[in-house]
Amino acid sequence: MTYRVCFVCTGNICRSPMAEHVFRARVEEAGLDGLVEVDSAGTDGWHEGDGADPRTVRVLTENGYTSEHTARRFHRDWFARLDLVVALDHGHLRTLRRLASTPEDAEKVRLLRSYDAGAAASDLEVPDPYYGDLGGFEECLKLVEAASDGLLVSVREAVGGQVA
């Protein structure tokens, strides 16, 4: 059975595609790519059909990650097929939980940095780098990478530690 994870930010061109590509790499390195499916979307449809922000692509590529992406908007009916919906900040968390039709669907929504053992409970957001310079995208990558390790542990437990 495939475990499905979807990362969600606002426009699906910066943070969530970055998280998608980083986490997909972690899943593949762990030999779980046959068991875990990784995706991303945005809470809004402003950039539907667009590629990732060029700064996201640059930071991913410079750090050895893939970057192929087409932005899309998250739809509430996706909860039925997803096991985990990972929000990049508290605004996304609230929006996604409001979209959830059932308490079970709302429970599927978690903040990415909640998986980072080094993150303070008061600092669980991945800041939006869109309006800043390249440094904001590099910082975003560091936060995503740090949280992805803990997320992988959780997902591995959810799939029973099986190896594909």
Euclidean distance between CA atoms 21 and 17, whole angstroms: 6
Q: Give the least confident one: 57-61, 65-69, 144-148, 159-163.
A: 159-163
| Residue in the block written with tokens 């192929």 | 68
Q: Active-site residue among 44, 50, 83, 128?
A: 128
**What would the mean pLDDT of 51-73 be, rounded to a whole number?**
98
CA 78 to each of CA 16, 100, 118: distance values in angstroms, whole numbers, following the listed order = 16, 9, 31
Q: 3-state DSSP call for residue 34?
A: coil
Catalytic residue among 6, 9, 14, 140: 9
* pTM given for the model: 0.96
pLDDT tier at 164, thresholds 50, 70, 90: very low
9 is catalytic: yes
- Report d(CA 9, CA 35) in Å as an integer: 24
Query: Does 12 score more than 80 pLDDT?
Result: yes
Q: Which CATH architecture has domain 3-158?
A: 3-Layer(aba) Sandwich (3.40)
**C-alpha distances in Å from residue 120, one per residue of 29, 87, 151:** 27, 17, 16
User: Which listed residue (6, 14, 15, 53) is catalytic?
Assistant: 15
**pLDDT for residue 1:** 84
- Dump pLDDT digits (tens) for 75-102: 999 999 999 999 999 999 999 999 999 9
